[in-house]
Amino acid sequence: MEAFLISISTVAIAEMGDRTQLLALVLAARYRKPWPIIAGILCATLANHAVAGLIGAQAGKLLTPARLDAVVGISMIGMALWTLRPDKLEDEPQNSARANAFMATLIAFFLAEIGDKTQIATMALAAAYRNLGAVVAGTTAGMLLANVPVVLLGHAFADRLPLRAIHIAASLLFLALGAVFIVRAMGYP
């Protein structure tokens, strides 16, 4: 249960103001079909985070518990710093006008998540926790918690978010998690 709760809260907070959240806003404004967009986000995130989780879990098996905790702790502190730099959406998704909302979202979200901080967090969490299913379910649920309101409420919701405060809170969460893992790493003989 701890793996799920840490994963959902970490990604939900870190996703605020992230480029994929901005992408959700663009897709919602462009297609005005929330349910296919939400389904696309779900499928893309499940696929992307499952792959990231598998990579993280395999990496976690190669390290001693102390080294694993140290690596996860350092990566979480790196995520804390990365979170303070707000993302910008470079371009609108490059899909043809004929593409449907689900496919456009599926492709755009899967590609946007590659190398994104939530994908890296998923790898780190999967390395740290032995329950891969709980990590992937938590990170996917966190992604949905952050993006579904944006898809459903669009610009009215996004314009009212205190993004700077959310970025600071997310950074502090990553910093605290990093500190916990580093302290755990120092506790090994």
Q: Quote the pLDDT of residue 54.
A: 96
Q: Around Cβ 151, how many Cβ atoms within 10 Å?
A: 25
How crowded is the C-beta side of 77, counted as CA atoms within 13 Å? 11
Give the per-residue pLDDT at 95.
Answer: 45
Q: Are 46 and 115 in contact (CB under 8 A)?
A: no
Domain extent for 168: 2-90+99-186
Largest CA distance in the chain: 60
Model-level pTM? 0.74
What pLDDT is attached to residue 92?
Answer: 47
Assign residue 92 a region: left if phi > 0, alpha if psi is -120 to 50, beta otherwise? beta
Report pLDDT for 159.
57
Q: What is the pLDDT along the chain (189 residues), one digit of tens a residue?
A: 899 999 999 899 888 877 788 788 888 877 888 999 999 999 999 999 999 999 999 988 887 878 877 877 887 788 778 767 765 555 444 444 445 899 999 998 998 888 788 888 899 899 989 899 999 999 999 999 999 998 998 756 555 656 677 668 777 877 887 888 889 889 876
pLDDT value of residue 46 = 96
Q: How many domains does the chain have?
A: 1
CA distance 86 to 177: 20
User: What's the pLDDT at 187?
Assistant: 85
